[in-house]
Structure 1
Amino acid sequence: MNEPTDPKNPTGSTESAQPLDTRVLTRTAEHLADRYAGVFSPDLVERMVFESYAALSRTARVRTHLAGLAGHFAADRLAALAHTRNAGAGPQQYAVPQVLFLGEHDTGRAQIAAALLADHAGETITVRSAGLLPGAALEPLVVAALAERGIGTEDLYPKPVTEDVVAGADWVITFGTLHGIPVPAGATHQDWDVEGVLEADPDMVHAVVEELENRVQALYEQIRARPPAHLRG
């Protein structure tokens, strides 16, 4: 989760980003720096973008769209950081409750729960998922089960857990254990005992989705009834 010393060599090795990716990442950093002008320095934004690229590249099977995904990942991390700092400018994502679903690989339960909550809450809650050991892609049966509910998965991808995303969370939902991840002061932690979906059959995946649907609905009502203290008017 540490930032690279050289953002143009984000992997921290002799292998740097491809020239085309570097150009895309640089343009992304410029756009994000403009969006967060007065909130974050351009250097911090650039480091975040290239670090996000490095983090995703470690597990990416296909690198065609890696630079674009890194831009989305960096934007999400910057929004979390802005929420943590209670920034007075920039995008309004920091002004709503933030929920983080933390799984082992971010390919199954965490992604399902995050997608379901985002579907329920719309823009009233910012929802994220992350994995301690992120996989390369969502489980195919998870993609199919969400599609059956009309939830698109084209923008979903496994992400590593980072300090900024954890620190920005008002609710942290885990599946089994925190694995030493510190819950931010003032945040609410819940651990959900829900069966995993790795190598599960379609019936098991559907059962997990149904259980998570019920839990997500309950969580949504809890958040609506009692939003985080720092966001109460």
Structure 2
Amino acid sequence: MPIMADKPSVLFVCIHNAGRSQMAAGFLSHLAGDFIEVRSAGSAPANSINPAAVEAMREEGIDLSNQSPKILTPDAVQASDFVITMGCGDVCPFFPGKRYLDWQLDDPAGQGLDAVRFIRDDIRDRVEKLIAEIRSDSSTV
């Protein structure tokens, strides 16, 4: 699928936008730099970011402490080339022409730091593969 003329954009969506989607957005921003526009949102945002997710990402040199959960809007979906869902189910709006991927990941809510590190590492692997795919797609445009 060809990427739009501007830089590609990715939206990470989970229910609370407090753990998985924030970690994924943090990794994508950190690893891809300005090459990819990054967004994250939740279908039912929490009041704050999961402290274990913040700590796990701090260990990777990525600071999420200044982030806050955001509500998922149709505009955010429409403005994105890739929509990565992480357990938000059918509440994610669908727009033709977007690339939807569903990442089955454990929810870090209520889990200890060791469990969150495992989820974090899984997310990093997936984000690295996504970056490679987006770079490959954009080189064929």
Note whether the superposition's TM-score is higher than 0.5.
Answer: yes
Matched, 1:122 2:33: yes
Of structures 1 and 2, the one with the larger relative CO (CA 8 A, separation 6+) is 2
Counterpart AA for 1:197 = P
Paired position in structure 2 for 1:206: 117
- Alignment RMSD (CA, Å): 1.9
Paired position in structure 1 for 2:14: 103
Matched, 1:192 2:106: no
Q: Do the aligned residues in 1 keep the contact of 2:49 with 2:65 (CA within 8 Å)? A: no
Counterpart AA for 1:116 = F
Q: Do the aligned residues in 1 keep the contact of 2:10 with 2:81 (CA within 8 Å)? A: yes
Max Rg structure: 1
Q: How far apart in 1 are the matches of 2:33 and 2:7?
A: 11
Instruction: Identify, as 1 or 2, the structure richer in strand.
Output: 2
Q: How far apart in 1 are the matches of 2:95 and 2:68?
A: 24
Per the normalisation by structure 2, the TM-score is 0.91
4+ aligned runs moved over 3 Å, structure 1: none
Paired position in structure 2 for 1:159: 70
Q: Do the aligned residues in 1 keep the contact of 2:12 with 2:40 (CA within 8 Å)? A: yes
Aligned residues: 138
**Mapping for residues 205-224 of structure 1, pairs under 5 Å:** 205-224=116-135
The structural deviation recorded for 1:178 is 3.7
Structure 2: which 5+ residue stretches go unaligned? none
**Mapping for residues 38-117 of structure 1, pairs under 5 Å:** 95-117=6-28
The structural deviation recorded for 1:108 is 0.6
Q: Deviations over 1:132-155 (max 9, x none)?
A: 000111000111111111112243
Q: Do the aligned residues in 1 keep the contact of 2:105 with 2:119 (CA within 8 Å)? A: yes
Q: How far apart in 1 are the matches of 2:78 and 2:52?
A: 31
